[in-house]
Structure 1
Amino acid sequence: MPEIFIRSMTEADLEMVLSWRNHPEVRRYMYTSHEIKLEEHQKWFALSNDNPDIALLIYEEDGKPKGFVNFTRSRSKKVADWGFYIAPGAAKGTGRRLGHSALSHAFSCLGLHKVCGQALGFNERSISFHLSLGFMEEGRLREQHFDGEEYQDVVCFGLLEKEWCSLSYE
């Protein structure tokens, strides 16, 4: 089992995270699927990093960055939306370990009551992933997102701290 660590993202991580985000297999599942330029990415980081309601995190295994996670508190200080992706080419099982580590961090270090997630309706892997981590499907926003060609459903998920703590992950 690799040594796992979650740390804050720094400016030194910008180009690495941008390369992951711009990879076609990551981009295709995002709300904004265009290729992001470095200047746009730098502006996003500066705004997000200065916002105390946003946690930008790097997931590491054995000292090597393997994924990105963010938690954004927009409704209340104890409820956050999460987003995540793993480094392209990461070994099988990396996503599951990232999910467990990030959610443990969210509830124990960030003190969250609830983590919310969303997946585009065609992204069956993300839907299954959320459910396997203990999230409950809380709704489906029909034809909510236009991807430039067609409208896509958005599936909404929620995971409460007490539900996470009742699972045998920790």
Structure 2
Amino acid sequence: MLRRAFEHESEMVRRWRNHPRVRGVSFTDHEIGETEHRGWWTATMTDPTCRILVYEHGGVPSGVVNISGHDVQARRAGWGFYLDVDGLTERGELLAAWMRIEGEAVEYAFAELGIETLCGEVLARNEAVRTLHRRHGFAEVGTYTREVAGVEEPVVVIELVRSTTPS
């Protein structure tokens, strides 16, 4: 289940984001400090084009979905997600949560927000997430290069158009 994040969950979300496995596939790989996180959290929570959503797996907060740049007129938005790697691994539920969070994010974007095109970006080397995106119907529509941890890295741009979503 996806739901809006609560203010008291800010530190939990930061802890998930700082997990080494999450940082290792993120565009910024440094550990996010309290001040940096607070700035992002406040700006995102008050931006009407953004949503921070908490994913609950088996009734337990287990991940976060960020929807950003929601253009109501163009009916487009960007998105990303990460999970509570340690908590889900400890419960033996990481793979199941990984599969479900994306489906729920797509459903939320299309049904709740009326988005027609959901966009994202993923490091080209992150083949597991690229495969997950393809499984949910995302097309890889472009590439570009950006600096990540001081190294130029290829990035794949993905897109899912509502009319092409698998049934």
The DSSP-based 3-state class of the residue aligned with 2:30 is: coil
Displacement after TM superposition at 1:112 (Å): 0.3
Structure 2: runs of 5+ lacking an equivalent: none
Displacement after TM superposition at 1:150 (Å): 1.9
The DSSP-based 3-state class of the residue aligned with 1:102 is: helix
Residues 146 and 154, structure 2, Cα contact 8 Å, conserved in 1: yes
TM-score relative to the length of structure 2: 0.91
Displacement after TM superposition at 1:79 (Å): 0.5
Moved over 6 A (4+): none
The DSSP-based 3-state class of the residue aligned with 2:85 is: coil
Superposed, 1:3-152 pairs within 5 Å as 5-73=1-69, 76-77=71-72, 78-89=75-86, 90=88, 91=93, 92-141=95-144, 144-152=145-153
- In the alignment, the residues of structure 1 paired with residue 121 and residue 19 of structure 2 have an alpha-carbon distance, to the nearest angstrom, of 20
- Aligned pair count? 159
Larger fraction in helix: 2
- In the alignment, the residues of structure 2 paired with residue 126 and residue 99 of structure 1 have an alpha-carbon distance, to the nearest angstrom, of 10
Displacement after TM superposition at 1:149 (Å): 3.6
* One-letter identity of the residue aligned with 1:161: R
TM-score relative to the length of structure 1: 0.89
* One-letter identity of the residue aligned with 2:46: D
The DSSP-based 3-state class of the residue aligned with 2:36 is: helix
* One-letter identity of the residue aligned with 2:130: I
Displacement after TM superposition at 1:61 (Å): 1.9
